[in-house]
Amino acid sequence: MDCIFCKIASGEIPSYVIYEDDHVMALLDISPVNYGHTLVIPKKHIVNLEEMSEDELALVVNLVKRIGRAIKLGMKAEGYNVQLNNDPVAGQIIPHIHFHVIPREERDGLRLWPQGAYGEGKGRETMAKIKSAFE
């Protein structure tokens, strides 16, 4: 397989590993938004969130939480963002699920996306579409 994260997980490509066990790992992003920007990945090749079992997701999210705490303490960050780009249209470049944990400071210049509003009846219509597909 030609997946960069699988190669990192197998030790084929070196990286700045913060934590690793048999199932998950956390490593520094090589193109950080802010210093300490960390990626949390499952070692098993999984493309997106829908492919993950609940047990696999629990392992990853628990590590995200631990890394977030370590970033706040170790980097003296005031907070952090957790981001998942799920599928290419959402900005996923590497087809192996990975969560970004990005340290934040009050004046770091990082902006969140713009927000809008639902027009007349659109909130109810949108809710109905999602509820109809919810399992």
Catalytically annotated residue among 37, 96, 98, 100:
98
Which letter, b or e, does each residue of 16-53 get, where b requires 16 or more Cβ atoms within 10 Å of its Cβ?
Answer: eebebeeebbbbebeeebbebbbbbbbbbebebeeebe
- Residue 37 bears catalytic tag: no
Distance, in Å, from the CA atom of 112 to the CA atom of 102, rounded to the nearest integer, reads 12
Positions marked active-site? 98
